[in-house]
Amino acid sequence: MSVVERRSLADQLTLVDLVDRVLNKGVVVTGDVTLSVADVDLVYVGLRLLLASAATFEREREAA
């Protein structure tokens, strides 16, 4: 693997990390995403489905 490829792999993993943090970690004060305005929330639901990480999936399976 070339240095450039390594570099781009590291960048991708870091981006995945940021998205993973933003969507799966951090303080929650409302309990869950507010699902009150239908047209907007479809966007949120879609994003969460697309980006929900393998880690969360595993955690939820373990908890179930």
Partner 1 sequence: VIHLYAFVRGLRELDAGLESRPFGRVTAVVGREERDPLRHGLVVESLLGRADAVLPVRFGERFASEDDLAAAVAPRLEALEQQLDHVAGCVEVGVRVVPHHDSAEAPDGAAYMQARLREQRSLEFVHRALAAHARDSVRTSRDAGYLVARDEVPGFSAAVEQLLASHPALDVLCTGPWAPYSFGAAT
Residues at the interface with partner 1 (CB under 8 A) = 9-10, 13-14, 17-19, 21-30, 32-34, 36, 40, 43-44, 47-48, 51, 54-55, 58-59, 62
Separation between Cα atoms, residue 53 and residue 6, nearest integer Å: 22
Separation between Cα atoms, residue 48 and residue 4, nearest integer Å: 31
Which residue, 29 or 64, has its beta carbon nearer to partner 1?
29
Smallest separation (angstroms) from partner 1 to the CB of 38: 14
User: Which amino acid does the sequence have at 50?
Assistant: L
Q: Which residue, 55, 35, 56, is CA-closest to 46?
A: 35
Smallest separation (angstroms) from partner 1 to the CB of 4: 17
